[in-house]
Structure 1
C-alpha cells in the first residue's frame, strides 16, 4: 500500500470516527431554528406583515433537519452500538425525542402556508413523540439505576415536550387529543420540576457542560401558556400563572449569566435558543390578549435577543465544527 493510500485510509477512518460520535444533541439545533421561525411568524402577525421572512426560515430549518436526519440515520446503520450507547446515557437519551419535537415544530410553523401538510406532519410528530415519551419513561422506571447527579433540565425534553402538541390541535379541532398531550406535559412538568430543583439544591452542581440546560426551565411554562391559549382561546388565572412562571425562570437565568458566560462552547449551548423563542412567542401572545403596548415592546426586545442568540450559536457551532471540537468521544 502506498503512502497516498495510507493517507486516504486514515482520512476515511477519521471521517467514520466523527460519524460514530455525531451526537443526537444536534437536534436541539432544530428546536432552536424552528423556534426562531415560529417567533418570526408571531412577529409578522403582530406587525401585520406577510409571512415572507418566516417562510425562508422554515425552508432553511426543514433542509437542516433533513440533513441531520440523514447523517444520524447513516450513523445508526454504520454504528448501531454508538446509538445504543446514547440511548443508555442518562442525559443523551433525553435528546432522542427532540427528533419528534422537530416534526411537531415544523408542522406548527407550516400551518400558515400548507394547512393540510401541516396536520399530516403534526400527526406523525405527535405519534412519534408519544412513542418516545413512553420509551424514555419506561426506561426511567425500569430496571436501570439512575442517581440524582444524572438528573438535569434536559429530562424535560421527552415528557414535557408533549405540551407542544396541543398548539396545532387547538387550531385544527383535535381538542380531546390536544388535552391528552397537554395533561401529560403539565403533569410531568410539575413532577420533573420538583426533582430537578431537589437535585440543584441538595446535590452537587451541574457539570459545566450541562449548565446551559438550566435555560430549559423557561420552556415548559412558556410553551404551556401558548398551548393553553390555543385550546381555550382566552386568558384566565391558570394561563397567567403559566406565563409569569416562565418570566420568573427567565429572571433566575439572568442571575446565572456571569457563570454561564465563562463556560466553553458545547452543543448544550443550543439549550439557550428554544426557551428564548418560547418566551418571545408567549410574550407576543400575552400582549395580544391584554392589548398591552409595553408587553408588545418587551416581545420585540426578546425577539432581538433571540436573533442574536441564534446568530451567536450558529457562528460558534460552525467554528467548533471547523476546529473539530464536536463529534468527539465523550
Structure 2
C-alpha cells in the first residue's frame, strides 16, 4: 500500500488563505439555486431579480475561490500538490471546471460570447481533469476507505453540467454525448461506492458529509436529460426523479449519523444535488405537469431554499468566527498512485 497523505494545512505561509478546492462547492450551491429561481420565475412568476442576484453572487464567489485557489499553487505549491495527490480531496479540483460551466449558464442571457468562452474553458478543464483522474484510478491500489461519493465529481458532475450548458448554447448533439459519458460513468462508479458502503468499515464522521453528493447524479442527470432531450418529462426523466427522491429520503433517514461531525464548509456537498433535484422537478412541472410532479415541485423548491440558507448561515458563522478554513484534511487515506 502507498503511504498516507499528511494533513493539509488551511493556511501555511503567506498572507493569503490557502483555500481548498472543496470551496468550489459553495459556488455550485449558489449557482444551482440561481438556476432554480430562474425556473421558478418561469413557472410561478417569482421575482426574476432574485435569480439574477444569486447568479451575481455565485459569479463573485467563483472569482474569489478561483483566484485564491490559483494563488495557492503560486505561494504554497507543496500544499497544493499534496491536495492534488490526496485520494479524497483531489477530486474536488474538478469542481473548478464544473463551476465555470455553471457560470457560463448564468452569463448566457447577457453575453453569448462570454458564455461560449466560459463553456470552452470549463469543458476543457473538466475533460482534461476527468481523464487525468480516471487514468490514475484505473491503476488500482486504492484503499476502500478512500472511496466516497467525491468520485462522481470529475466525470459524472462534469459531464452532466457540460451537457446542460451545451444544450443551452444550442449544441444539443454535443450535450447528448456528454450526457452519455456522465450517465454510464455514474452507473459504474455507484456500484463501486455501494460495495464500499455495504462491505467496508463505517465511514469516519468527518467524511460522512460527502454522502450529500450521492443525491447529485440522478438530480443533475435529470436536469441534463431534460436539457438535451428537449425538456420532455418522459419515462426516463421521471425515473431519474424517482431515484433522486429515494436518495433524498435515504439522506434524511441517515441525517443524524451523517451529522455526527461538527458543521463545516463540507456540508455544501448537500446543496448541489438538493437544489438540482428541485430544479428538475420544476422544469418538468413547467412543460409536462403531472399530479405527482405538481405536488413535489413547490415542496422541493421551499426545501432547497431552506437548505442553502441554513448552510450559508452556518458558513457565515464559521467565517466570522475565524473557523472557516480547515486546519487539516478530514482523514488521510492512501495517496493516489501513478502519474
SS at structure 2 position matched to 1:96: helix
Give matches, 1:56-95, under 5 Å. 56-95=53-92
- The one of the two structures with greater contact order (alpha-carbon pairs below 8 A, sep at least 6) is 2
Aligned position for 2:241: 243
Whole-Å separation in 1 of the counterparts to 2:170 and 2:161: 15
Q: How does 1:157-176 map to 2 (within 5 A)?
A: 157-161=153-157, 162-176=159-173
Once the two structures are superposed, the pairs formed by residues 38-53 of structure 1 within 5 Å of their partners are: 38-49=35-46, 51-53=48-50
2:166 match: secondary structure:
helix
How far off is 1:294 after superposition? 5.3
Name 1:115's counterpart in structure 2.
Answer: 112
Q: What is aligned with 2:180?
A: 183
Is the 2:102–2:165 contact (alpha carbons within 8 Å) kept by the matching residues of 1? no
1:231 alignment partner, one of 225, 228, 231: 228
Q: Deviations over 1:78-117 (max 9, x none)?
A: 1001111001101111100111110111112233333332
Larger displacement relative to structure 2 (119-128 or 152-161): 119-128
Distance of 1:298 and 1:109 partners within structure 2: 25
**2:278 is equivalent to residue 280 of structure 1:** yes
- The aligned counterpart of 1:97 is 94
Mark the CA change 1:296 to 1:114 in structure 2 (over 3 Å): closer, same or farther.
Answer: farther
Do the aligned partners of 2:13 and 2:76 also contact (CA within 8 Å) in 1?
no
Q: Name which of 141, 147, 161 aligns with 1:145.
A: 141
Moved over 6 A (4+): none
Report the equivalent of 1:11.
Answer: none
Q: Report the more deviating stretch, 184-193 or 107-116.
A: 107-116
Q: Is the 8 A contact 1:103 1:121 kept in 2?
A: yes
Unaligned stretches of 5+ residues in structure 1: 1-13
Aligned positions of 1:7-18 closer than 5 A: 16=13
* Partner SS for 1:155: helix
Shift of 1:321: 2.8
**Alignment correspondent of 2:3:** none
The equivalent of 1:254 in structure 2 is 252
Is the 8 Å Cα contact of residues 21 and 329 (structure 1) preserved in structure 2?
no
RMSD: 2.0
How many residues are treated as equivalent by the alignment? 316
**Aligned-residue offset at 1:32:** 0.7
Measured in 1, the distance between the counterparts of 2:144 and 2:255 equals 24
Instruction: Supply the distance in 2 between the matched residues of 1:294 and 1:175 (Cα, whole angstroms).
Output: 28
Deviations 1:37-80 (A, max 9, x none): 11111111112356311111111111111111111122110100
* TM-score, normalization by structure 2: 0.87
More helix by share: 1
Q: Please tell me whether the aligned partners of residues 167 and 227 of structure 2 are also in contact (alpha carbons under 8 angstroms).
A: yes
Could you say which residue in structure 2 is the equivalent of 1:328? 327
CA, structure 1 residues 68+172, in 2 after alignment: closer, same or farther (shift >3 Å)?
closer
TM-score, normalised to structure 1, is 0.89
The structural deviation recorded for 1:15 is 7.1
Deviates more, 1:241-250 or 1:315-324: 315-324
- Give 3-state SS (helix, strand or coil) of 1:126's partner: helix
1:16 is displaced (CA, Å) by 2.9
Contact 2:216-2:273 within 8 A present in 1 as well: yes
